[in-house]
Amino acid sequence: MSYDTLLSPVTICNLELRNRVVMAPLARHRASQPGDVPVEMNAHYYAQRASAGLIVAEPAHVSRQGQGGWAAPGIHSDAQAAGWKSVVGAVHARHGRIAALLSHAGRLSHRRLRDDGSPPVAPSAIRARHAQVLVMLDDGTHGFIDADDPRALETGEIAHVLLEFVDAAHRAVRADFDLIEIDAANGGLLHQFIATGSNRRTDAYGGSVENRMRIVVDVLEAVAGVIGAHRTGIRLSPSFTGADIEDAEALASSAYLAGELKRIGIAYVDLADADDALRHALRDACDSAIVASGEGGTAEEANARIERGDADAVSFGRAFIANPDLVERLRSNAALAEADPSTLNGGGEHGYTDYPTLD
């Protein structure tokens, strides 16, 4: 099978990408402790996968309060920014492109992740049922436990969250990231503001679609002011129902946001989870490039989606874990290796940088 379209160059965000295979953000929980700092091992991992047209790095929390799991890398300290700069440098040395994913977990967190034992924050004090968080356990090992009960952010605190994203954007620029992507997907804080089930606020950040989208639009405008709208993207998953996310107005929210993306001039949308109606609404209403998720699909399907005009590029997640040379394997029609599920979250080099390439 030939994947000529998938493997062809494309220009997104004024950057020419050598192919349309995007590495999706994959939380691997291997940042150095203490401090949640990316180190040489992490740089090696990303450099191995630099043949992707674009790498979207794993979620980087914009504050300690926004951390969503043990050993998840942050981007709110000088040491973390320096660590990311080494990661970016390793990718660039292999002629790759990489985007920072600025994230805040909101209620998908636990007080065990903070030194002061403070609870997670959320739009409303509604716990994410059946959602789990990776933490350090009492016996010194790490494991998953249920997400904690959050407290609702005060109206005055939301401006501080916005400033955390701005500070993180400045650090991402200093780390030489090619692009900055805002995480408004998969049940994180910004997604919690968007969704009707998790946002029961009665102030300017709740109720109407415009109010629920307010913080998302504010973050996008502020980050675009740091790096430029032509180098800014957003990750969305309007059909996502994990992490106890319920949104009775997902289509209306997507349509409203599409107009705002066009107004601001956001370069691309990383669409992680969307049904056909939502995907078409975003595709038709904004000028942004679309990176569609290929998770669970085949490279043949990804190639066809691009040829149909449904997307400009397609992202792959788990396939990149066990296949650091995924692009080369697609080009040569080689078999794909399977990831070891026991090494996905936490650990060292094993199951991280030791997957073999074809050569």
Kindly report, residue by residue over 41-71, the tens digit of the pLDDT: 999 999 999 999 999 999 999 999 999 999 9
Residue 96 above 90 pLDDT?
A: yes
Exposed / middle / buried, residue 302 (Cβ in 10 Å: 0-12, 13-18, 19+): buried
Interval 109-127 mean pLDDT: 97
At residue 354 the predicted structure's pLDDT band, cuts being 50, 70 and 90, is very high
Which residue, among 297, 301, 222, 286, has the nearest Cα to 256 in the 3D structure? 286
Is residue 143 in some structural domain? Answer: yes
* CA distances from residue 258 to 39, 204, 227, 234, 309 in whole angstroms, order as listed: 37, 20, 20, 11, 18
Number of domains in the chain: 1
Q: Identify whether 145 is part of a domain.
A: yes
- Please name the residue that has the structure tokens 């929210």: 253
Question: Which residues form the domain of 207?
Answer: 10-343
Give mean pLDDT, residues 21-31.
Answer: 98
Kindly state whether residue 349 falls inside one of the protein's structural domains: no
Q: Is residue 119 part of a domain?
A: yes
Give the pLDDT score at 267.
93
Q: How many CB atoms lie within 10 A of CB 209?
A: 16
Instruction: Give the SS3 label for residue 58.
Output: strand
Q: How far is CA 295 from CA 133, 191, 206, 259, 315, in A?
A: 22, 20, 32, 27, 7
Residue 4 resides in a domain: no
Q: Which residue type occupies 211?
A: N
Residue range 180-199, pLDDT digits in tens: 999 999 999 999 999 999 99
What is the three-class DSSP state of 27? Answer: coil
* Residue 232 bridge partners (DSSP): 180
Token pair of 288 as six digits: 């942004």
- pLDDT over 80 (residue 2): no
Residues in a beta bridge with 271: 236, 292
pTM of the predicted model, to two decimals? 0.97
* Residue 352: inside a domain: no
Confidence (pLDDT) at 1: 65
The two structure tokens encoding residue 166: 């701005």
67-79: average pLDDT: 98
Question: Does residue 296 have a pLDDT over 80?
Answer: no
pLDDT on residue 244: 97
The string of DSSP codes covering 168-211 is HHHHHHHTT-SEEEEEE-TT-HHHHHHSTTT----STTSSSHHH
Q: At residue 295, does pLDDT exceed 80? A: no
Three-state SS for 138-149 is CCCCEEEEECCC
d(CA 348, CA 338): 18
Across the chain, what does the average pLDDT equal? 95
Residue 353 lies in a domain: no
Q: Regarding beta strands 98-103 and 132-136, do their DSSP bridges make them parallel or antiparallel, or are they unpaired?
A: unpaired
352/282: higher pLDDT: 352
d(CA 76, CA 350): 28
Lowest-pLDDT range of 90-99, 135-144, 269-278: 269-278
- Overall average pLDDT of the 324-342 stretch: 96
pLDDT of residue 277: 77
**Strand residue runs (E) in 42-157:** 54-61, 98-103, 121-122, 132-136, 142-146, 151-152
pLDDT > 70: percent of the chain: 100
**Do 345 and 28 form a contact (C-beta atoms < 8 A)?**
yes
CB atoms within 10 A of CB 300: 13
| Alpha-carbon separation of residue 351 from 50, 160, 347, 355 (angstroms) | 18, 38, 8, 7
Say if 284 falls within a structural domain. yes
User: Which CATH number characterizes residue 130's domain?
Assistant: 3.20.20.70
Q: Let me know: does 146 contact 131? Beta carbons within 8 Å.
A: yes
The rounded percent of the chain whose pLDDT value lies above 90 is: 92
Reported as a single tens digit per residue, the pLDDT across 230-260 is 999 999 999 999 999 999 999 999 999 999 9
